[in-house]
Structure 1
Amino acid sequence: MKVAINTLNFRQGGGVERYILDLIKGFHDEQITPRIYTCKADATLAENRWIELIKTNLSLIPRKLRHRFLSSFVRQHRQADEVILSLFYLYCDIFICGGNHKGYLRSQNKTANLYERFIKIPFEQKVLNECKLVIAHSKLMKKELIELYQVPEQKIQVLYPPANTAKFNPISAEQRQALREKLGFNADEIIYLFPSTGHHRKGYALLKNYFNHADLPIRLVVAGTPVKESKNVVSLGFCKNMPELYQAADFTIMASSYEPFGLVGLESILSGTPVIFSENMACLEVLQNNFGFTFSRDDVASLASAVKNSINLVKAGKARIDNPHACLNYDPELTSHIEQLLQIMKNL
């Protein structure tokens, strides 16, 4: 069996781009060299040595139409014995779904514009109809695909995404104290990390309002898109030291209005830091035991209660997670994920 991945842009990045590079690493460890179909590629990536790159030039095609043209190219040039995966809405045999536009619009109470209504959403439907199997990254995603796109339930399998357990892991109390001093976190303040580049969807306004009105020893530390600093809010801007920030923080907090999974939750837990998440976030499907606290976005009192409970946990010296895997109900290792994915492909 040969493996291929269809992607609009083969590059380093967050979310989907990072997941594709993880898959390539996992396939390489299994002595599999995947073909990568794309219209744009970063020639400096180390992963280039582990792939066969098949590239077409779509630079003259409007960006919003490239899905269609790349899909046509792959359909024409695919090998007969390969299984094609895609994490974008592109032609493939197995579509790995981490999000959908109808679900996003519904969560934001938005109406589709002309492009979304006549091009984007119909092409999502086309991909879902034509692929042989859909892998959903959460039960929430599976539910939305059934309800909003009428994908048959038997065509969807839930497979949670992997996390980098080598990069995100706990450190000793002594190391953590030194790290907090290095980052400028005061010993008498409780740090709530908010990692985000999409503040509106991640619920920044709700959190900022609460923290700025709270008369407590708490600080909201925003890592990502810069924000204006205020009473209890600090902005670090875009950061490349996320493992250190997770390790140094007391809690990771997020109030997303829509989160089809949320790898942030796993990365925080694996770093030994509990979470405070709005109860609609899909990554809560895989969290168990003493992972932290949840709250309702529609009830500020529940957020206040979660924060106060977290303060009490810190004061009791019980806020760190010594055994992160005990807080997860699945194996987040890349090797396990690749093993399950290959089995799915063999059964296709």
Structure 2
Amino acid sequence: MELRSDQIKRGVARAPHRSLLKADGITDEEMDRPFIAVLSSRNDVIPGHTHLDKIAEAVKAGIYMAGGVPFEISTIGVCDGIAMNHEGMHYSLVSREVIADSVECAVMGHAFDGLVCIPNCDKIVPGMILGALRANVPTVFVSGGPMLPGTGPDGEGSTDLNTLFDGAGKVAAGTMTADELAALEDTACPTCGSCSGMFTANSMNCLCEALGIALPGNGTVPAVYSERIRLAKRAGMKVMELLRDNVRIKDILNAAAVRNAMECDMAFGGSTNTVLHLTAIANAAGCPITMADWDAASARTPHLVKLAPSGPRPLIDLYRAGGVPAVMGELGRLGLLDESALTCMGPLPEYLKSCCPPADGEVCRTGENP
């Protein structure tokens, strides 16, 4: 199989390139394998990203098991929660473009054959998608997963980051004490992972499944579950399968995929930021959408899932009810998905048949009882 990476490792003129690669520890045997970029936004400041080194190691193991050579690369991230209510607010949205540029530079500059993106939070997910579309190589996304919810002060219900925003307002209004707020501060964000409601990060990670560029579970398997590590290994193996079949990201992320993602977005009622990001993604994929398209999707699509912050349920409830595949399965049953779409798991009709459990009627409602 002819590889893009042959540009940096084949022929007499590439002896200097091979010497630099051998300085990385690459052997002659590995030179014959596909080179895969493993692009992570791991850092010490964003809770959703502190553990991405473990996700990256699992992805690299999957790539190696499937016959590729992984190269880990890093990009930046900005935590919307920490950047809020001070000058840092001006840096969150623009970070999306910095991330997109860094993905494009890294993949194109080193002629990688494939790409696995490991984002987790707000602008990082769409930034990586935009960069991957520019590079247009076989690509799989695997996020770091959502954090577990906190437990309410009475041991009932669940808490999350939004509980703190509400709590700060309650203290200011005199309806909560500073000590009560401090107790929530210590418990509402109990693990690593993206904030546990259907905020921007988890909405976008769920939409990666709907777009077909991530494996089932990408948006809902909790960050601290061993299942997340297994998912990451499978993502590494999956990118090698896509490379073998010459399926690039633009073969998957097209007009049909965008329509299906819009349907899922309306069905699970995620962050309104998804309108901003998916519109940019559709434009980059060459299938632009308008506000009229969003309005039409909203009008025809039943609202099936009500999770925090718009409802009382934490995201883990959707995980337990079958995740995004359950939502997609119900939308497919209602005839609302474009079944010409291709996913990283294969054609959408096959995906709906093999990966999608029936709606439970409670966490994921049916179309007859939205």
| TM-score (norm: length of structure 1) | 0.34
| TM-score (norm: length of structure 2) | 0.33
Highest relative contact order (Cα 8 Å, sep 6+), 1 or 2?
Answer: 2
